[in-house]
Amino acid sequence: ESKTDIRKGLVGVVADVTAVSKVMPETNSLTYRGYPVQDLAENCSFEEVAYLLWNGELPNASELADFRAEEAAERALSPALHEVIRAFPHGAHPMDAIRTAVSFMGMEDPEAGDVSEPATRRKAMRLLAKIPGAIAAAHRATKGEAPVAADPSLSFAESFFHLVFGRVPQPEVVKAFDVSLILYAEHGFNASTFTARTITSTGADLHGAVVGGIAALKGPLHGGANEAVMHMLSEIGDPARAVEWLQSRFDHRALVMGFGHRVYKNGDSRVPTMTKYAERMAEVVGDRRWMEMSRLLAAEMLAKKNIHPNLDFPAGPAYHLMGFDIPLFTPIFVASRITGWAAHVIEQSADNRLIRPLSEYTGAAQRSVPSMAHRG
């Protein structure tokens, strides 16, 4: 038994201050720079929210126009990056693909060695602009399709669809996607953001922090859950089987993906907004099956386990209804969360102290090194 107060998983530990977002489990709410996330989702574009996260205030019309123009101008990938993407092993995981693409972008960035704040801000803009193209090119390559050239006249959300599918869907679909990007953009000291801040605390660069963030986000307990949710819904297949399927998960004491949260224990403020837009997608597509199944699963989880869904639960079927293949779901989370990660990297650098906690040793007692002849 430990003599020190060890918080496994750092549960309840306040590691630092932040002015980027506030997670309030008492009221199931989340604000970015003071604005409730659901209000941002309903009233703003993702570009406005990216600006807010990076600058602390919402942009006025001319600031937004400049921000959009800068982002749109940086969308093209270098020929070298296209070659690297073509060389990715067949069947590579899309999160590994975007992680590797970001790592390569770090090497070819014109300000590669510069960790100053102005350079970090310019690098963040380049990453925001280029990540969708890299995700889309890697995905299209797995299908033997050539990359689509970026169109700077499109909004960020429209451009994402265009890069993946070569066309932009109807406005309701683009709006639902934009809402999901806003809801995914930022969330306090979650695992990937804390990883990014830890990397930054050593004096390393933005691309390194983002590569670490992507690696952390891939896991099924974090961002990987949105894909796992859709695999689960596909496995259930029919709303009539949902309750019985859930019971078998309970019998095996298995996790149900898209449910539970380290901080919110009474509900995730992002869920009602995402559910509303997922329902809209179900209407647009004319396929009610997934949302019906979701409703039954959520009601049963609450009744039997008192566990609420998290954002990944409605996001999974929403992305499926928008036409995205399941392997793109977590990379979409990356395309959004780059905004939150960069905001935290800038904040960490501005008032840095090396992140270096302690551990309590529980291994073998101190002993002398035996010669080779005396080893078992």
| Residues across the chain | 376
- Out of 261, 308, 320, 344, the active site residue is 261
Cα radius of gyration (the chain):
22
Distance, in Å, from the CA atom of 235 to the CA atom of 51, rounded to the nearest integer, reads 39
3-state class of 238 per DSSP?
A: coil
- Out of 82, 312, 320, 344, the active site residue is 312
In order of 81, 96, 129, 164, the CA distances from 75 in angstroms are 13, 20, 5, 14
**Residue sitting closest to ligand CMC (CB):** 260
Determine if 312 is a binding residue for ligand CMC (CB under 6 A): yes
Tell me whether residue 104 or residue 290 sits nearer to ligand CMC (CB atom).
290
Determine if 257 is a binding residue for ligand CMC (CB under 6 A): yes
Instruction: Candidates 15-23, 41-49, 127-135, 222-230: pick the segment binding ligand CMC (CB under 6 A).
Output: 222-230
Helix axes 289-305, 242-251, angle to 10 degrees: 40
Distance, in Å, from the CA atom of 346 to the CA atom of 229, rounded to the nearest integer, reads 33
- Does the active-site annotation cover 207? no
Determine if 21 is a binding residue for ligand CMC (CB under 6 A): no
Distance, in Å, from the CA atom of 234 to the CA atom of 91, rounded to the nearest integer, reads 21
Phi and psi at 118, nearest 5°, equal -60, -40
Residues contacting ligand CMC: total by CB under 6 A: 18
Choosing from 261, 280, 308, 344, the residue that interacts with ligand CMC (CB under 6 A) is 261
How is 166-185 classified by DSSP, letter by letter?
SS---HHHHHHHHHHHHHHS
Choosing from 76, 243, 307, 326, the residue that interacts with ligand CMC (CB under 6 A) is 307
Determine if 262 is a binding residue for ligand CMC (CB under 6 A): yes
Q: How far is the CB of 125 from ligand CMC (least distance, A)?
A: 25
Tell me whether residue 54 or residue 189 sits nearer to ligand CMC (CB atom).
189
Q: Are strands 35-36 and 21-24 parallel, antiparallel or unpaired?
A: unpaired
Tell me whether residue 80 or residue 255 sits nearer to ligand CMC (CB atom).
255
DSSP 111: T
Instruction: Candidates 39-47, 76-84, 109-117, 253-261: pick the segment binding ligand CMC (CB under 6 A).
Output: 253-261
Tell me whether residue 285 or residue 307 sits nearer to ligand CMC (CB atom).
307
- Does the active-site annotation cover 252? no
DSSP 29: E
Choosing from 32, 104, 194, 259, the residue that interacts with ligand CMC (CB under 6 A) is 259
Tell me whether residue 126 or residue 270 sits nearer to ligand CMC (CB atom).
270
Choosing from 59, 106, 223, 340, the residue that interacts with ligand CMC (CB under 6 A) is 223
Q: Which residues contact 376 (CB under 8 A, 6 or more apart)?
A: none
Nearest C-alpha neighbor of 76 from the set 129, 120, 121, 123: 129
- Does the active-site annotation cover 320? no
Interacting residue ranges for ligand CMC, rule: CB under 6 A = 9, 190, 221-223, 225, 255-262, 307, 310-312
Mind telling me the catalytic residues? 222, 261, 312
